[in-house]
Structure 1
């Protein structure tokens, strides 16, 4: 909308001082010709915009001029909570609101504090996406977020590990973890009277979402952050059902936190003293035996599993299979 763009243009000039037409066009995501028209519109409305000619020229406001049009809309105020994570804000459909809110906030600050705020933006950046992994496509995220905010029920088509299901859900909140969005929701009681507990759904697995006219009441005393923390603890307890005793080289000790996350950090904290070869014995929480074998093999020859015997035997079998496979498929050199 042009009124919003004109206000953003005015606030940009107020917050940053002199800016060229191409710089303004890039910030506002419009053409340079549109910037020229908007500058004329500001001047016609009584805003003292000066055009400085030459290589160091650009547009600026008359010295001492400041606008008081800095009131935040509801969406802009809410978007400030995502100010450190512009990517997730964009996913939720709040990217433009966040940019406008930041401009208005800067305009309301004294010059010294506004400069400090810009320096913080220059020095710190939060990237919520995990390394070496593409983020889930989340085409339905904005609609789900709106239903969460409006407390409206959703009719969802969801892909589970065992097939596709249709559910009516009461959406309670959204969580971004490791670059992946999750919906915390309660199945509609009328649809599943015996299954009304709060559950977690991966947003990228929703195949379709419709917002219903029907609203719902949030469970009394429900706190999203507390639910998520408890849910994460339960998941870790379910996954980490066994403890492996592992002997690690100095290099494997450095790799352990990267390969095993929090479980690796805890194992290092309780590590014993190095032996004569510099290797260290640790107790490491691991998942099911099949997963543990795969995870521990990533440490290669830098680790030796000492127990339990069943896990050590499973690793020995896996190593034998790999050795036989590579011996059988070894490339023999041709005749000289």
Structure 2
């Protein structure tokens, strides 16, 4: 059996039972699992064993005989919201978190967020909710444009399954300004950055082809918007235990992340230094005063393009000192812009 295959089936079973008001027969559940998970075959006995395993784990799954046969459904102990105390302050925090996750709208993740939010609203006392509503009316969360990944939901399901089972995925990918290319990737996880979903994946390498220090160089963040198709392959990969996704994604300013970012030095004027101090670019940045009118910002970056828009936004009050590759990228952009505005 493929890695985590049983876990994936059982999680999907719970989702199907949650959405079913009148219960589902074994055959109906089997058919839904085959369709949703892209399976080639699945026996009813396997579905029955999965249901029994969930019951043994404590889920209240009940069965009854109706006109169309024996159906299974979730009992009230599983469907009802477990009683918890929640204050208006906690409700505000939860609602802010929900709005920050709007980029997930249209995906299977969002359905869980939305159904949970609706249950919480129904469960809290009217007084608590009224107090929350008054305070929430004065607080607005914005800055990330609305974006839906409903069109890519099928591909997300494929990629999620590949992540859990450590399976290779063949993708048709079209970067901006380039033709569609077919690639094979080893998906490790998902990342949400500035309203976009990225798949963190490695490109397959033959055993021994890459040194341990260079393994993370195979990782790349593939933007889901540019996926045209994603096909699950019957090939498996062994996850690299040395890859730390949290470290990889948090080591740089933007989505151009890497295991060994470059320290970039940027000379800032007094006004720009104040802006960067107020809204830091990175938790590991260092801002040193040079004199009363200037400061030196040292910040990790993995690619010149993630520095470029930030430096340009500060205008002539910011100058990249080094490395030369980063300085030249900004210089070239300034020359091109000057020519366009001549």
TM-score of the superposed pair, with normalisation by structure 2: 0.48
Q: What TM-score results when the alignment is normalised by the length of structure 1?
A: 0.48
Determine which structure has more spread, i.e. the larger CA radius of gyration.
Answer: 1
